[in-house]
């Protein structure tokens, strides 16, 4: 367990130079900036910076780019909390409690809680990466499509089944998400599905376009519909003391912090990805936490659940990326391309071959996340002050941010029209109490789950029992199925006890 310590110290010696610290600060700053602008986001930001790094040495290059990635994750939470617009798919779950908090005048508290949670999640992730590096990669190699399918089902089971609301409406919402995820190229058969002859549909429907519409535009419609009085801004306390107070309250949520960090770590290594991790963590929190019933109404613990899992998964995902060349997020895929250009070949021997690079990167993750927390916290009063601007100005600006975000996703006019359509659908869904989150989760995991299932079936020649063919897959899929069955059981149990 401690054999990695000298390597890590060596890494610190490489990573902590004035030049690299400067790169971290620049990276984090740019990251927060692109994170705040939805659509631009971390993958685009990292892609844009890439040409600048071609001439750098690989350690500095990856420090700059990963710092930008961390910064973007923090920035993405900001717009989720303030305006209900997730800057990244992985901060959708942040809106569930973050936005209600901001609406109730607790923006400063929400932002501080989110950033502190992110910091904790990242730190937890990096410590685990340091300790588990050799074990985790071997573990990740055990994953065939069979295990992937089981993990995805577990994510579905733990979020959807633990959710509230009308079960039939949840099914409709899930179905819509699955259908949208199925549009476009099908990996297993290589054919274009559900495009109805429209060329525009052949590239599929982008998740961010859906999310910007369902959350951003739909929420604006809701706000507009209320009386003029509610359109007035809710002032939040801006003093640094408020930030400090919220930060000190963090240890109160220690159970949620640890639980979410473990879920994030699991999804980062397996690799289900950060977005799925946030949903799973939120779902589990809602079911097992004492405060679970108040999730979704603006409870800090809900915010903690999603933010910690997001960052823990994001950092842990560095491990399969370096050791296997397996990216578990869009940004990781871009970084992987960068590695090739810098002449670093990801693979099982990278840790032995380029310890300077690997441990320099891991050490930089400790430092740059510290930089992130400090920089993000200093922006809290600034961002919270945005809410003091009258809504008759911020409202139209949010509309523009949404449209610009939709455009940058694919430089395509159709996406902008689609944002409007999804905005209308989202408005009706939330007014009619259709849960929107299962739809988003279905879009994130829908086609990956289908691919994994069909790949498993090819490998097993059509035998469904392949999911119980080894202890790992068998355990995960059984737990997942139990999750789905749980609401039924509890209902039965309640019925039985009432009769008695």
Ramachandran class of 205: left when φ > 0, alpha when ψ lies in -120 to 50, beta otherwise: beta
Cβ closest to another protein, residue 432 vs residue 496: 432
Other beta carbons within 10 Å of 152: 26
Cβ at position 394, least distance to another protein in Å? 10
What is the rounded distance in angstroms from the CA atom of residue 204 to the CA atom of residue 193?
A: 9
Cβ closest to another protein, residue 33 vs residue 255: 33
Cβ closest to another protein, residue 120 vs residue 149: 149
Cβ at position 478, least distance to another protein in Å? 21
Cβ at position 378, least distance to another protein in Å? 21
Cβ closest to another protein, residue 193 vs residue 237: 193
Cβ closest to another protein, residue 296 vs residue 300: 296
Cβ at position 268, least distance to another protein in Å? 16
Question: What is each CA distance from 171 to 177, 421, 435, 485, in whole angstroms?
Answer: 10, 21, 9, 15
Cβ closest to another protein, residue 291 vs residue 460: 460
What is the rounded distance in angstroms from the CA atom of residue 247 to the CA atom of residue 268?
A: 26
What is the rounded distance in angstroms from the CA atom of residue 337 to the CA atom of residue 330?
A: 11
Helix then strand then coil, % of the chain, to nearest 5: 80, 0, 20
Dig out the tokens for 375 from the structure.
């920089």
Q: What does R_g of the chain's alpha carbons equal in angstroms? A: 22
Cβ at position 295, least distance to another protein in Å? 21
Cβ at position 15, least distance to another protein in Å? 23
Cβ closest to another protein, residue 136 vs residue 217: 217
Nearest to 126 by CA among 286, 333, 362: 362
Cβ closest to another protein, residue 373 vs residue 418: 418
Cβ at position 462, least distance to another protein in Å? 5
Asked whether the beta carbons of 274 and 267 are under 8 A apart, the reply is: yes
Cβ at position 354, least distance to another protein in Å? 11
Q: Residue 373: which residues within 8 A CB-CB, separation 6 or more?
A: 115, 116, 118, 119
Cβ closest to another protein, residue 18 vs residue 51: 51
Cβ at position 386, least distance to another protein in Å? 13
Contacts 24+ apart (CB under 8 A), 127-130: 128/265, 128/312, 128/316, 129/315, 129/316, 129/318, 129/319, 129/362, 129/365, 130/4, 130/8, 130/362
Cβ at position 349, least distance to another protein in Å? 4
What is the rounded distance in angstroms from the CA atom of residue 126 to the CA atom of residue 342?
A: 23
Cβ closest to another protein, residue 12 vs residue 29: 29
Question: Which uninterrupted H or E stretch holds 18?
Answer: helix 18-36
Question: What is each CA distance from 308 to 227, 249, 258, 305, in whole angstroms?
Answer: 36, 15, 9, 6
Dig out the tokens for 130 from the structure.
């340091």
Strands 184-185 and 192-193: antiparallel
């Amino acid at each position: 367990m401690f054999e990695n310590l000298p390597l890590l110290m060596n890494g610190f010696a490489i990573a902590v130079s004035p030049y690299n610290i400067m790169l971290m600060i620049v990276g984090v700053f740019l990251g927060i900036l692109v994170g705040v602008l939805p659509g631009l986001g971390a993958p685009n930001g990292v892609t844009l910076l890439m040409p600048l790094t071609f001439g750098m040495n690989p350690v500095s290059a990856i420090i700059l780019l990963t710092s930008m990635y961390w910064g973007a994750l923090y920035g993405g939470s900001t717009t989720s909390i303030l305006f209900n617009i997730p800057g990244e798919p992985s901060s959708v779950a942040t809106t569930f409690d973050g936005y209600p908090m901001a609406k109730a005048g607790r923006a400063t508290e929400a932002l501080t809680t989110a950033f502190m949670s992110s910091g904790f999640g990242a730190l937890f992730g990096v410590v685990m990466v340091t300790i588990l590096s050799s074990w985790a990669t071997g573990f990740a190699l055990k994953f065939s499509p069979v295990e992937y399918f089981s993990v995805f089902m577990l994510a579905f089971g733990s979020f959807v089944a633990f959710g509230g609301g009308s079960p039939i409406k949840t099914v409709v919402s899930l179905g819509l998400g699955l259908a949208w995820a199925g549009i476009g190229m099908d990996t297993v058969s290589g054919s274009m599905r559900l495009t109805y002859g429209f060329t525009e549909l052949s590239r599929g429907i982008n998740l961010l376009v859906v999310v910007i519409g369902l959350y951003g535009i739909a929420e604006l419609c809701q706000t507009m519909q209320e009386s003029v009085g509610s359109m007035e801004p809710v002032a939040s306390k801006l003093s640094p003391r408020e930030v400090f107070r919220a930060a000190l309250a963090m240890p109160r949520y220690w159970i949620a912090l640890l639980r979410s960090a473990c879920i994030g770590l699991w999804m980062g290594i397996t690799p289900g990805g950060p977005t799925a991790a946030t949903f799973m963590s939120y779902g589990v929190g809602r079911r097992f936490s004492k405060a679970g019933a108040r999730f979704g109404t603006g409870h800090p613990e809900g915010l903690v659940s999603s933010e910690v899992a997001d960052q823990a998964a994001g950092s842990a995902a560095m491990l399969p990326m370096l050791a296997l060349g397996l990216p578990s997020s869009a940004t990781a895929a871009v970084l992987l391309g960068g590695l090739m250009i810098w002449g670093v070949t990801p693979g099982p021997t990278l840790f032995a071959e380029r310890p300077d690079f690997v441990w320099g990167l891991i050490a930089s993750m400790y430092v740059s996340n510290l930089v992130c927390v400090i920089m993000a916290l200093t922006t809290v009063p600034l961002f919270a002050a945005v809410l003091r601007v009258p809504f008759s100005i911020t409202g139209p600006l949010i509309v523009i941010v949404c449209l610009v975000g939709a455009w940058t996703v694919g430089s395509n006019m159709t996406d902008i029209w689609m944002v409007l359509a999804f905005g209308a659908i989202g408005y009706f869904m939330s007014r009619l109490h259709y849960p929107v989150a299962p739809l988003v989760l279905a879009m994130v995991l829908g086609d990956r789950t289908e691919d994994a299932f069909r790949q498993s079936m090819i490998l097993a020649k059509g035998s469904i029992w392949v999911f119980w063919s080894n202890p790992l897959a068998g355990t995960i899929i059984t737990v997942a199925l139990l999750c789905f069955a749980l609401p039924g059981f509890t209902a039965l149990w309640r019925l039985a006890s009432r009769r008695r």
